[in-house]
Amino acid sequence: MCDMKFDNLLFVNYKTNSILDKLLCSYSGLPKGVNYMIIGDPGVGKTTVILDMLANIQNCYPAAKLLFISVEMNEVDLAIYVQRYPKFSFLNILFVESDCSLQTHHWQTICDIMNEGWDIVAIDSFHELQGIIKEEENVRLKSAETMILSLIKQQNKANNRRSVNTTFLTIQQVTKSGAFIGSNRLKHSITAMMELRLENSKNIYSDRYIVFSKHRRGDVGVKLYYSLEKNGDVFFDEQRFENEQTIRKEQNMVTTHIRNFADQFDQLFT
């Protein structure tokens, strides 16, 4: 690694100017050239939270090129979102919709658009895009997964016209029990697994929170509670987050003291 050279700007993160930045990375913000996969309970607001992230980042960095690839929702569906969250209307959106009656080939279009060079790309969802590529390109589901992952890796490494290390935020579907859908290869290829959960999975009105179950750039198991407000923003409970962080630090201190005391006890009677 000592022989490898990197541009210092690669380690300057994108900020959302919210408490979410502390959860996204240990040194705050959304890193460049990484792959964050988002899963969660149905109706928990995965698409809303990701679009909110993109809109906030776009507001902080007007020159940044951001793209939302919508595979599950069409223009009419997104129009409903825009009525509730007006700031979403300024995002670049690529609609990918399967049409069995036409000889469509969305894959080449996606590759061409990716080659333009984007700072952040969000996909909703990986599973649906994988299915469309499988049908249109007449390949196996595993091959379609390989095609998408290869494209993502190329963009991560700045193999595009702008030579930018693209960050991907990819929503993935889950089973009825909330388990991840996808191969082990897909699971191991991501930088972080961001989960959006309900406190009570059977009650859509229960508290919602974000937690990372895998994170190469930050902490796992730390919860950030949020709500989908009607004023055009996702509200993050910063006070609750800070309180739980304080409790977490105190618990770690107590655990350390107990461990040290136990070591002293063992040394005394050995």
The CATH number of the domain holding residue 53 is 3.40.50.300
CB contact at 8 A, 79 and 104: no
Same domain, 123 and 248: no
pLDDT at residue number 88: 92
Same domain, 249 and 195: no
Residue 253 lies in a domain: yes
Same domain, 164 and 82: yes
Residue 260 lies in a domain: yes
Res 127 pLDDT > 70: yes
Global pTM value: 0.89
The pLDDT tens digits for 8-23 are: 999 999 999 999 999 9
Same domain, 99 and 19: yes
- Tokens 């935020």 map to which residue? 169
Same domain, 231 and 257: no
Residue 108 lies in a domain: yes
- Domain total in the chain: 2
Same domain, 52 and 15: yes
Residue 1 lies in a domain: no
Query: HSE on the CB side for 211, CA within 13 Å?
Result: 14
Same domain, 127 and 180: yes
pLDDT at residue number 230: 67
Q: Which domain holds residue 243?
A: 238-270
Same domain, 121 and 12: yes
Could you give the C-alpha distances from 160 to 172, 229, 248, in angstroms and in order?
25, 37, 42
Same domain, 146 and 257: no
The pLDDT tens digits for 186-239 are: 888 999 999 999 998 888 889 999 999 999 999 999 999 999 976 778 999 999
